Structure 1
Amino acid sequence: MSADNGPVLVIGATGRQGTATAAALLERGRSVRAFVRNPDAPQARRLRDAGAELTVGDLDGEESLRTAMDGAHGVFLMLTMMDGVHISLAAVADEERRGKAVADLAAKAGVAHLVYSSLHGVGAGSGIEYYDAKEHIEDHIRALGLPATVLRPVSFMDNFATYNRPARDGDHLVLALPVPPDLPMPLIAIRDIGRFAALAFDRPDEFLGRTLALAGDIPTPTRIAETLARAAGLLPRAVQVPVEQIRAFDEQVGKMFAFFNSRPAPAIDVPGLRAALPDLMTLDAWLTATDWPL
């Protein structure tokens, strides 16, 4: 672990990735400055109780961002394209604008290390608007010459406890995904995104200037269903949901799965990632660590 040479500002601190990053930094003895809108919100209070300093502001408030960066050694940046439970083009445009603004302010403040959490598949010519917005933020960071690390996580294992929670049908666990049952589906635990961010801040000589795709396991939906069913004491069943059904609910997510199903995911060096983070979680390890409930 490197010496703490100043706080790391965590933007998106009350979100899942921001919370994981703050926790990983605090575990390593780093000072954390959490950027929050409401310091009395439950997650903000939990961050404060864990040892983070809270700084209050808004991503559309340049002065509050400038104040938050004052004296910060590093910045972790994670932005959302969500508008409620959907991805809207207006929210995507806001994300791009905010990401570029944070990068501009970090450059002016002389931040020593920016870690930006982007998305695996960015730069692959998907034509998906929210992928393009993240690519534009990445490009802007590079154009500014910012000392930075870009993380590109894949689908979250944690979604099997929320958005992609399987159902029970008698003695079967039914996993419904808009992905062919035999197509490899890279997965990462959100906790490990935070731990890689903390690792990047601790080992800048190793991580500065790098773009890192993050996955801890690359199972097929069939194997995911088998793994989850085994944990639940049930029989597995993987069902492919039509992409059009997803597109009817959310156009952007539908485009994402159509792209994912038609183009093999860019290769991810999981052994190399595990060399850097030896306890990088597989799906089995994540189930054990989270005491996953059906």
Structure 2
Amino acid sequence: MNHLAGTSERKSEMTASLVTVFGATGLAGGAVARSFAKAGWTVQAATRDTESEQARALAASGIVPVYADLDERASIRQAIEGSAVVYLSGPSLTNRWDVGQAVQGINVCDAVAEVATPHFIYQSAMVREARGVLGFGSKRAIEERIAELGISATISRPGIFMDIFLERFPVRRTNEGYELVFPLPADCLLDLIAVEDVGRAAVAVATDPDKHVGQTYELVGDNISFRDIARTLTEQLGAPVKAVSLPVEQLAQAWPQGEGLFRWFASARTLASPDEGQALVGSMQDFRTWAIMHGDALSRF
């Protein structure tokens, strides 16, 4: 099948309200796509599999899946042609090693430059102090490529998604209540953000490009320790949640890409402030608010 046939005729001119989101079938990218749709934008979800379960769910909500392979720059160009905004939420380290992430992200940057997309928003990470950290090297390389190309871009640097406690690190039932197993010491402070707020920030940035092009924003809703995360979940679930610190070496056995990342989280580092995100979208969810909003989902486990 020729995935690219007819796309140039369909999008020969830029549509002022068209945004193409890469990573929309994932956690944060999906929240971003839904936020744009809720705000009245025409949203395309760029994906290699337009018939996947996630793509079908997006289509059911009015978001249009379009074909793009991040390893094929021609398909990226076709997908973004005519877009006023391109948003890149890159692949998770679960699926790609750092070099693969960097190559794919740079492919998107180059395609954005080639078609002269008016506004590119790149979802990076908290790379300000992260040197030599697997998972952040690719983010830094993509940020550097944006600067080299001189494209009209805004960079967002979200913290750890609160929503990982519904997916990768859910609570588990025990005879005494629950336990939360996480590869950090109990007193380790984390920069957390709800994916809904990542989406709200993206819409705010895209809505006023003159103000936000050339800017970098760190997005954090709460600074909270692993121990206090467990305490908050205890309040929400009505049963004790024990914080269990998993040795990072054990994490590496199942997820080698994550080892350096969590060693860095546990290091003495400067926490980001919620101020930049609040300046964009006003009030942001702290972890307690997020837990209340997701109480039903948390209690499934």
TM normalised by structure 1 equals 0.90
Equivalent residue number for residue 63 of structure 1:
74
What aligned pairs does 1:69-218 form with structure 2 within 5 A after superposition?
69-82=80-93, 84=95, 91-120=97-126, 122-218=127-223
Code of the residue aligned with 1:132 in structure 2: it is: G
Alignment: residue pair count: 284
Please say if residues 24 and 194 of structure 1, whose CA atoms lie closer than 8 Å, have aligned partners that are also in contact.
Answer: yes
- In the alignment, the residues of structure 2 paired with residue 42 and residue 224 of structure 1 have an alpha-carbon distance, to the nearest angstrom, of 31
- In the alignment, the residues of structure 2 paired with residue 82 and residue 238 of structure 1 have an alpha-carbon distance, to the nearest angstrom, of 24
- TM-aligned CA deviation for residue 83 of structure 1: 5.1
Please say if residues 172 and 234 of structure 1, whose CA atoms lie closer than 8 Å, have aligned partners that are also in contact.
Answer: yes
**Cα deviation digits, residues 4-38 of structure 1 (max 9, x gap):** 82311111121112211111011111111221222
**Cα deviation digits, residues 113-139 of structure 1 (max 9, x gap):** 11111111x142431232111101110
Code of the residue aligned with 1:37 in structure 2: it is: R
Structure 2 gaps of 5+ residues are 1-14
What percent identity do the matched residue pairs reach?
Answer: 31
- TM-aligned CA deviation for residue 239 of structure 1: 2.3
Equivalent residue number for residue 224 of structure 2:
219
Matched, 1:276 2:283: no
Secondary structure of the structure 2 residue equivalent to 1:209: coil
What aligned pairs does 1:38-49 form with structure 2 within 5 A after superposition?
38-49=49-60
- In the alignment, the residues of structure 2 paired with residue 276 and residue 65 of structure 1 have an alpha-carbon distance, to the nearest angstrom, of 29
- TM-aligned CA deviation for residue 81 of structure 1: 4.4
Cα gap change, 1:55 to 1:188, in 2 (>3 Å):
same
**Cα deviation digits, residues 223-267 of structure 1 (max 9, x gap):** 100110111111242222222222233333111111221222x33
- In the alignment, the residues of structure 2 paired with residue 208 and residue 74 of structure 1 have an alpha-carbon distance, to the nearest angstrom, of 11
Matched, 1:233 2:245: no
- In the alignment, the residues of structure 1 paired with residue 36 and residue 122 of structure 2 have an alpha-carbon distance, to the nearest angstrom, of 15
Structure 1 gaps of 5+ residues are none
Please say if residues 57 and 65 of structure 1, whose CA atoms lie closer than 8 Å, have aligned partners that are also in contact.
Answer: yes
Equivalent residue number for residue 7 of structure 2:
none
Please say if residues 201 and 277 of structure 2, whose CA atoms lie closer than 8 Å, have aligned partners that are also in contact.
Answer: no
TM normalised by structure 2 equals 0.88
Equivalent residue number for residue 39 of structure 2:
28
**Cα deviation digits, residues 157-208 of structure 1 (max 9, x gap):** 1111121112233333322222222221111111211221111101223322
Matched, 1:263 2:268: yes
Secondary structure of the structure 1 residue equivalent to 2:74: helix
Equivalent residue number for residue 4 of structure 2:
none
Code of the residue aligned with 1:196 in structure 2: it is: A
Deviates more, 1:145-154 or 1:268-277: 268-277
Secondary structure of the structure 2 residue equivalent to 1:292: helix
**Cα deviation digits, residues 37-71 of structure 1 (max 9, x gap):** 22222221222222223322212222221111211
Secondary structure of the structure 2 residue equivalent to 1:5: strand
Secondary structure of the structure 2 residue equivalent to 1:176: strand
- In the alignment, the residues of structure 2 paired with residue 250 and residue 125 of structure 1 have an alpha-carbon distance, to the nearest angstrom, of 19
Deviates more, 1:165-174 or 1:126-135: 165-174
